[in-house]
Amino acid sequence: MTTLPPPRPLVSLRDLRVELGGNPILRGVTAGITRGTITALIGLNGSGKTTLLRALVNEYPHKGTIQFHCGHDHSQPYPEAIGYVPQRLTLDARLPLTVGDFLALTLSRRPLFFGISKKVAARSRAILERVGVADCLDRPVEGLSGGQLQRVLLALALEPHPELLLLDEPASGIDFKDQKKFYELISSINRETGVTVLLVSHDLNMVQAHAHDVLCLRGGSIQCQGPPDEILTPINMSLVFGAELHMFPHRYGT
């Protein structure tokens, strides 16, 4: 019988604590995020999921340890090896940016008033093609649907080659059909590039179908962690959500 090597964590959290406004939000989180997998972070509203993601990108000061097992320097204000798709993006409608302008602001090292170089325009088109929204390049960001905007943000988060992709409820506000497609896209990017994904989700069906590992937060502490089949049980879910939930095996048609 062959013994499988133990999973290698990309990130180890040890006794991670975050206080916001004088209140303890994360209360000693110890967990590992396995390299190359999709880990779903679940829990009630206010349990600290976004706070955990923000601590990972140094947006919130923390106590305890966040250790990245890779060669990159993660002490920078916003580590380059991390891609982030926020829960929501509030844009000022008075600033009519096209998707191309929006991407160029991040991809280009020169001010937008000098125009967009051919290289940046080609790169923008290529990264939009990768997530299936190349036709949005010349459209105003404000006019995009929720699903299109999330794909544009995902395209940006994948630049240039993150080791860790943080997705904060990336499919909230998207209709069921586009949600399913969005999760499938994330799965295929994870398979093709090997990027490690930490994904906040309230959709337990999608978590069961696409995550390799589930991390459950309750009141700022880890309630349980493990593969979906072991974690998404009625007993665990009543501990995490305080409500009786029954999961049924996923049967998506192709």
Distances (CA, A) of 18 to 27, 39, 52, 73, 84: 7, 21, 8, 21, 19
CB 224 within 8 A of CB 239: yes
Length of the chain: 254
For ligand ATP, the closer CB: 43 or 162: 43
CB 98, min distance to ligand ATP, A: 29
Which 3 state secondary structure label does DSSP give 213?
Answer: strand
Distances (CA, A) of 198 to 78, 92, 132, 187, 195: 16, 28, 22, 12, 10
CB 50, min distance to ligand ATP, A: 3
CB 173, min distance to ligand ATP, A: 12
For ligand ATP, the closer CB: 21 or 61: 21
- DSSP β-bridge partners for residue 66: 13
CB 42 within 8 A of CB 240: yes
Sign of CA dihedral 238, 242, 247, 253: negative
Give the ranges where 113-166 is alpha helix by DSSP (H).
118-130, 146-157
CB 91, min distance to ligand ATP, A: 20
For ligand ATP, the closer CB: 43 or 228: 43
- Residues interacting with ligand ATP, by CB under 6 A? 20-21, 25, 43, 45-51
For ligand ATP, the closer CB: 50 or 179: 50
CB 210, min distance to ligand ATP, A: 19
For ligand ATP, the closer CB: 32 or 48: 48
